[in-house]
């Protein structure tokens, strides 16, 4: 076999390997999208958070509600997502759709003790009731 034939064979093999590699990567990118489209209703959670006072169960309006979670990725680092929301006059916040799993809820309101807790949600619709306490008095 001559040197030019060997070079042609090597270049054909390298081209085939590169083509296969690109097809595998393309399949990895498409699979999460198609899975998300077909299971979009089952992979996300409609979350409602109700913030009230611990003493008399009155709604806390204009409280800042932070929802933080990590969105996993196939390639690269996981993406950290944070949402800053405000409660309405009834003390209710409707969180946009988030993926099922573990997430952190933090609530900050003037005159109330800061609240923070992790939750694990696996249901399609979930309501979380949070009761804020008064901070301790400093003399």
pLDDT for 78: 73
Chain segment 63-106, per-residue pLDDT in tens: 999 999 877 666 777 778 899 999 999 999 999 888 888 899 99
Is the same domain home to 33 and 45? Answer: no
Q: Residue 122 region, left (φ>0) first, then alpha (ψ -120 to 50), else beta?
A: alpha
Is the same domain home to 27 and 51? Answer: no
What average pLDDT does range 46-66 have in this prediction?
93
Helix (H) or strand (E) holding 131: strand 125-132
Is the same domain home to 58 and 126? Answer: yes
Within a domain: residue 74?
A: yes
Is the same domain home to 16 and 69? Answer: no
Within a domain: residue 138?
A: no
pLDDT for 60: 92
Measured at the CA of 3, the angle between CA 21 and CA 20, to 5 degrees, comes to 10
Dihedral sign, CA of 6, 10, 11, 12?
Answer: positive
Q: Which residues, at least 6 apart from 122, have a Cβ–Cβ distance to it below 8 Å?
A: 100, 101
Helix (H) or strand (E) holding 21: helix 3-38
Is the same domain home to 2 and 52? Answer: no
Q: Which two tokens stand for residue 1?
A: 């076999």
Considering 2-16, 27-41, 50-64, the range whose residues carry the highest mean pLDDT is: 50-64
Q: Is the pLDDT of residue 4 over 80?
A: no
Structural domain tally of the chain? Answer: 2
Within a domain: residue 45?
A: yes
Q: Is the pLDDT of residue 38 over 60?
A: no
| Domain that includes residue 71, residue range | 41-132
CATH number at residue 80: 2.60.40.1120
Q: Which two tokens stand for residue 20?
A: 């296969």
What average pLDDT does range 2-13 have in this prediction?
80
Between 21 and 44, name the one with better pLDDT.
44
Is the same domain home to 21 and 34? Answer: yes
Between 115 and 139, name the one with better pLDDT.
115
Within a domain: residue 139?
A: no
Q: Which two tokens stand for residue 121?
A: 């949600």
């Amino acid at each position: 076999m001559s040197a030019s034939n060997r070079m042609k064979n090597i270049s054909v093999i390298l081209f085939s390997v590169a083509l296969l590699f690109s097809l595998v990567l393309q399949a990895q990118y498409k699979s999460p999208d198609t899975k998300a489209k077909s299971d979009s209703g089952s992979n996300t959670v409609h979350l409602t958070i109700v913030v009230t006072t611990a003493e008399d169960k009155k709604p806390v309006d204009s409280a800042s509600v932070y929802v933080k979670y990590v969105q996993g990725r196939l390639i690269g680092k996981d993406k950290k997502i944070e949402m800053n929301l405000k409660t309405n006059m009834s003390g209710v916040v409707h969180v946009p759709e988030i993926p099922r799993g573990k997430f952190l809820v933090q609530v900050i309101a003037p005159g109330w003790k800061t609240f923070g807790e992790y939750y694990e949600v696996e249901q399609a619709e979930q309501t979380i009731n949070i009761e804020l306490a008064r901070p301790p008095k400093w003399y």
